[in-house]
Amino acid sequence: MAPYSDTPDGLFRGYLTPAYAAAQEAVAGWMIEAGMTVSIDAAANLIGRYEGGPGFAAPPLLIGSHIDSVRDAGRYDGPLGVMLGIEAVAALNAAGRRPDFPIEVIAFGDEEGSRFPAAMLTSRAVAGTLDPAALAVADRDGVTLHEALAAYRRLVAGWQSKREEEPAFGGIADFGSARRAAPLAYLEVHIEQGPVLDAEGLALGVVTGIAAQLRYQVGVVGVAGHAGTTTMALRRDALAAAAEAVLMVERVARSGAGDLVATVGRLLAVPGAANVIPGRVDFTIDIRSGDQGVRDAAATAILAELDAIAARRCISISAERVQNLAASACDPGLTDRLAEAVAAEGLPVRRLVSGAGHDAMVMAALCPTAMLFIRCVAGISHNPDEHVDPADADAALQAMLGFIDRLGEAV
């Protein structure tokens, strides 16, 4: 997968890494071939612009998704939406067509949050909802976002200079200047990352909204000690406490209402030696529901249980909220136009809520949004076995072009 993965075995493309820069260079080339001009904004997002027809001054339609990935990822989560945006513009350009508005295809850089603790840093910068305090972060190797931006600037200087353009971004102080004036609309096409469409034999789904999310970074502090000499009664084992907490998170989610889910996706025990009682454990908690009240009630219950575990085991547990994304409804008018475009391809219209988070939920603070799901085989995602049938991707492309036509009729 070199040079587009930061690991030799499997796919991992972190924000601002060498693989990220290499992917941007390839995608920029495809954008140019499709008839777009290319730029990089202050948050290191890649943007391709296709101008609208003469005589119109409408703001642009943004078509976007992300090109970063989780660790040991599949190939379609994020990049497929960017590629389909480019394909849509390429089809318009080949036909000599220019809508009554510009189209910008944006490849966001940090949707997953797989390198730095909080996700969607770059779409939040574009939407103008990013708290500057969120930029004071470092990755698991201790590299700060400021340092990563400086290293990334050097990585892309080569291919930027080939086009005789200066990068639009500076350093971390400029990050917030990626904020955009309100576009006409934002369209995101993405694999479903779930089993509904595949189970129902449907190629496409029209998203009506995205579930609310909370994410916490939890620190458990006990006392490290010798595994052979510290009696069980005297132990203050941080990992045993964390294990109890993980099962508690699962229990709260299982007993909750509706579509509530909660996940502990990362856990690190220190010092990590076989003969040492762990003195510290850090782990994450991710809580989601389409109903924000259900999500918040679960979070309150989980935090209270963490306090009880800490008191019972005579250890310290802290929980820092690092992400709070409200439930996001897609624009009803745009959703209807997207549904009409799907129906025009002779396909059933299936409307559904997304349990996974997407840049669209952030962009809803900036402009009306619409989202189209593509079936992924067996609902598998965040996994190397992630797969999309090419015929489904083509159906999505045709629906996108139909949506663009219908949006033009309304401008």
pLDDT digits (tens, 9 = 90+) for 232-281: 999 999 999 999 999 999 999 999 877 899 999 999 999 999 999 999 99
Domain ranges for the chain, please list them. Answer: 18-210+327-410, 212-325
pLDDT digits (tens, 9 = 90+) for 27-79: 999 999 999 999 999 999 999 999 998 877 789 999 999 999 999 999 999 99
Mean pLDDT of the chain: 93
Q: Give CA–CA dist 10/70, Å, rounded.
A: 11
pLDDT at 119 over 90: no
Strand (E) or helix (H) holding 137? none
Q: Strand pairing of 316-325 and 267-270?
A: unpaired
Question: What angle, rounded to 10 degrees, do the helices at 332-344 and 390-410 form?
Answer: 130
Report pLDDT for 162.
Answer: 56
Write the DSSP symbol of residue 201: T
Report pLDDT for 231.
Answer: 96
pLDDT at 89 over 60: yes
Contact 190, 396 (CB under 8 A): no
Residue 49, phi then psi, degrees to nearest 5 = -120, 130
Report pLDDT for 331.
Answer: 97
In this structure, what token pair is assigned to residue 394? 């083509």
Alpha carbons within 13 angstroms on the beta-carbon side of residue 69 total: 25
Q: Give CA–CA dist 360/370, Å, rounded.
A: 8
pLDDT digits (tens, 9 = 90+) for 64-76: 999 999 999 999 9
The CATH number of the structural domain formed by 212-325 is 3.30.70.360
CA-nearest of 209, 226, 160 to 373 is: 209
Contact 282, 297 (CB under 8 A): no
175 or 394: which carries more pLDDT confidence? 394
pLDDT at 357 over 90: no
Neighbour-count burial for 201-223, b at 16+ CB within 10 Å, e otherwise: ebbbbbbbbbbbbbbbbbebbbb
| Rounded to 5°, angle at Cα 27 from 135 and 374 | 90
| Rounded to 5°, angle at Cα 121 from 117 and 123 | 150
| Helix (H), strand (E), coil (C) string for 34-97 | CCCEEEECCCCCEEEEECCCCCCCCCCEEEEEECCCCCCECCCCCHHHHHHHHHHHHHHHHCCC
Contact 35, 103 (CB under 8 A): no
Longest dimension (CA), the chain: 82
151 three-class SS: helix
Report pLDDT for 163.
Answer: 54
Confidence of residue 164 (pLDDT cuts 50, 70, 90): very low
315 three-class SS: coil
Contact 145, 171 (CB under 8 A): no
Mention the CATH class of domain 18-210+327-410.
alpha beta
Contact 39, 87 (CB under 8 A): no
Q: Give CA–CA dist 305/246, Å, rounded.
A: 11
In this prediction the pTM is: 0.82
Report pLDDT for 356.
Answer: 87
Confidence of residue 93 (pLDDT cuts 50, 70, 90): very high
Q: Give CA–CA dist 392/401, Å, rounded.
A: 14
Strand (E) or helix (H) holding 159? helix 145-162
Report pLDDT for 363.
Answer: 96
Report pLDDT for 55.
Answer: 75
Contacts of 366 (CB under 8 A, 6+ apart): 126, 127, 128, 180, 182, 183, 186
Residue 332, phi then psi, degrees to nearest 5 = -60, -40
Report pLDDT for 355.
Answer: 86
